[in-house]
Amino acid sequence: MTFEELQTYPPLTETTFFILLSLAASEKHGYAIAKDVESLSNGRVALSTSTLYTALKRLLEDGWIARAGEDPEPDESGRPRKTYILTELGRRILEAETVRLQSLVAIARTRCTGDQI
Amino acid sequence: MKRILGFIMRVYGMMVRLFPSEFQEEFGDEIQGVFATMIKAAAGRSKPALAVVCLQELRDFPVFLIRTHLEKGHMKKFFRSQPVAFAWRGALVFSLGLVLLNILSYFSSSWFITSSNGVVYRVVSRFWLEEHWTLAGIGVASVIGGLLFALFFSERTQFGWYALVGILGWFVTHATFYALSQSFEFDFLHNQPIGILIDAMLALEGALLSVMFFVAKSGRRKFVWPLAAGAILYPLASYFLPQSLLYSYRSQPLLKIHPSWFFIAMIILVVVLMAGVVWVAIKSGGKAPWMVVVGAAGYVFVFRLCDAIITRLHLIILSPTKYQGLTVIDVVNTGIQPLLTGILFGVILGLLLGWERRDAQKTGA
């Protein structure tokens, strides 16, 4: 898929963007993603399990993320925690979205402050 | 705090079971694990933090649930799933039954007074349950309610059996409650400690119905008989017990029951019958004891909630306009209140029984 084709994707929701961004650094389990998203957004985006797993399910189906395996540290009930990883497609979509956001910011800055791109 | 967290997790576990089975297999354990970690972390911070996490979950959950079911056409399956199917059937049966009971009771009292030159009324008036005694209306509604119960919950070959359970399990007990509450001035019945008696009677009604409901669906027929005996004993003892207590005290029968005697006798009766219901539930095993708790507490809560809602409605209904002798308030009391009560209680019981059945199927019971 070319970069131009990637840019035809509709803009990502904030939740999706933050989840992809979280997984861009390393593979994570569900709770770690939720905490990382909260941290990345300075506490503004607090994901409920419902919102988190709606997004994870869709991202898995679309092939933007994949299951990576199990975290060696179990969860509260002693069950192994499944981890997720960003796929190549997911990474490229995240990059395309970042470029789109950058261009938006640049346009806004030009209009608001008169700066040149 | 540990018990609160345990309770929240149990409720959340039940919520997760509303998802399609494939989704539960793929994500069920994982979601519960994440949620457990979230609430434990929040509880470590403060109680308000825990409340925020739970409220956030409640806010997002319905949308998530519907979306999951809508994907790949799961919605049809969802509505056909055992708990949901039982919930809507329960809502339909109990709301229709209650509305019918109230309407027939309402209109039959005037029929009693005018029929056969008032002969029926005069006969009935000899009992201490004299005013607004609406036996025929309640009887007809009980039978129809029982048939509705059988129609919605039984297999075809067991229709008669279920009808019997439906009539005895609840409509008789409700009729008893209704008749008693109509036999005295309503203000008196709402005074303390009689208010406690009303709640106790409601709790008994809810518990008895729940357990009847459970034993009928789980096929544990032998447990129906003691419950049926209790249901028959209830109206009879409601009539004789206060009088016999008073008779042994004063050695003479009184036509009018004094409120305090009535209260003592009825509390004794309700406690004894409730103990019987609890005993049967424990013997029945499974989730029957839970059915007693949810049925008893749920019915009192639903009844009081609907009562509060209707009271608020009365406050905003300013015009007591009459249409064919009926005011808007009559319609609200006779129709809307029982409708609301029946829907809510039916949903609670249906969901609980639906889950019970699913457990039984899973364990091969």
DSSP A7-53: TTSPPPPHHHHHHHHHHHHS-EEHHHHHHHHHHHTTTS----HHHHH
pLDDT for residue B194: 62
| Span B245-282, pLDDT tens digits | 666 555 554 445 556 667 777 888 889 989 988 988 88
Considering CB atoms only, which of A31, A48, A75 is closest to B57? Answer: A48
| Span A12-23, pLDDT tens digits | 888 899 999 999
Three-state DSSP state, A115? coil
Query: How many CB atoms neighbour CB B21 within 10 A?
Result: 12
Categorize the per-residue pLDDT at B363 as very low, low, confident or very high, splitting at 50, 70 and 90.
very low
Query: How many CB atoms neighbour CB A21 within 10 A?
Result: 18
User: How distant is the Cα of A113 from the closest Cα of chain B, in angstroms?
Assistant: 38
Residue B316 in this model has a pLDDT that exceeds 60? yes
Mean pLDDT of A54-77: 82
**Number of helices and strands in chain B (H, E):** 17, 2
User: Is A81's CB within 8 Å of B57's CB?
Assistant: no
Residue written as tokens 């998802």? Answer: B19
Residue from B289, B127, B99, B303 nearest B201 by CA: B303
Using a pLDDT cut of 70, give the percent of chain A over it. 83
Contact status of A109 with chain B (Cβ, < 8 Å): no
Query: How many CB atoms neighbour CB B264 within 10 A?
Result: 17
User: Is A49's CB within 8 Å of B35's CB?
Assistant: yes
User: Is A30's CB within 8 Å of B33's CB?
Assistant: yes
Q: Which residues pair with B322 in a beta bridge?
A: B327
Residue of chain A with shortest Cα separation from B62: A50
pLDDT for residue B43: 87
Residue of chain B with shortest Cα separation from A35: B38
The span from the CA of A90 to the CA of A102, in Å, is 18
Mean pLDDT of B351-357: 67
More confident residue, B72 or B242: B242
Query: How many CB atoms neighbour CB B78 within 10 A?
Result: 19
Categorize the per-residue pLDDT at B288 as very low, low, confident or very high, splitting at 50, 70 and 90.
confident
Using a pLDDT cut of 90, give the percent of chain B over it. 1
pLDDT for residue B6: 86
pLDDT for residue B361: 45
Query: How many CB atoms neighbour CB B241 within 10 A?
Result: 19
Contact status of A78 with chain B (Cβ, < 8 Å): no
Q: Which of B45-59, B82-96, B131-145 has the lowest mean pLDDT?
A: B131-145
- Amino acid occupying residue B75: M
Categorize the per-residue pLDDT at B365 as very low, low, confident or very high, splitting at 50, 70 and 90.
very low
- Amino acid occupying residue B123: V
Categorize the per-residue pLDDT at A97 as very low, low, confident or very high, splitting at 50, 70 and 90.
confident
Task: Give contacts of A50 with chain B, Cβ < 8 Å.
Answer: 57, 60-61, 63-65
Residue from B341, B277, B312 nearest B93 by CA: B341
Show which of residues 7-26 on chain A sit within 8 Å of chain B, judged by CB atoms: none
More confident residue, B170 or A101: A101
Query: How many CB atoms neighbour CB B118 within 10 A?
Result: 12
Best residue in A35, A48, A59 to probe B by mutation, most B CBs within 10 Å?
Answer: A48
Contact status of A115 with chain B (Cβ, < 8 Å): no
Task: Give contacts of A54 with chain B, Cβ < 8 Å.
Answer: 64, 67-68
Average pLDDT, chain B: 73
Contact status of A113 with chain B (Cβ, < 8 Å): no
Residue written as tokens 């992809």? Answer: A20
Considering CB atoms only, which of B26, B38, B64 is closest to A54? Answer: B64
| Span B96-127, pLDDT tens digits | 877 877 777 666 655 555 555 555 555 555 55
What is the phi/psi pair of residue B77, to 5°?
-65, -40
Q: Which of B214-223, B253-262, B325-334 has maximum average pLDDT?
A: B214-223
More confident residue, B292 or B164: B292
pLDDT for residue B328: 64
pLDDT for residue A112: 80
Contact status of A50 with chain B (Cβ, < 8 Å): yes
User: Is B63's CB within 8 Å of A50's CB?
Assistant: yes
More confident residue, B166 or B261: B166
More confident residue, B259 or A73: A73
Categorize the per-residue pLDDT at B130 as very low, low, confident or very high, splitting at 50, 70 and 90.
very low
pLDDT for residue A21: 93
Residue of chain A with shortest Cα separation from B68: A54
The span from the CA of A35 to the CA of A89, in Å, is 24
Considering CB atoms only, which of B33, B59, B68 is closest to A75? Answer: B33
Considering CB atoms only, which of A46, A56, A77 is closest to B33? Answer: A77
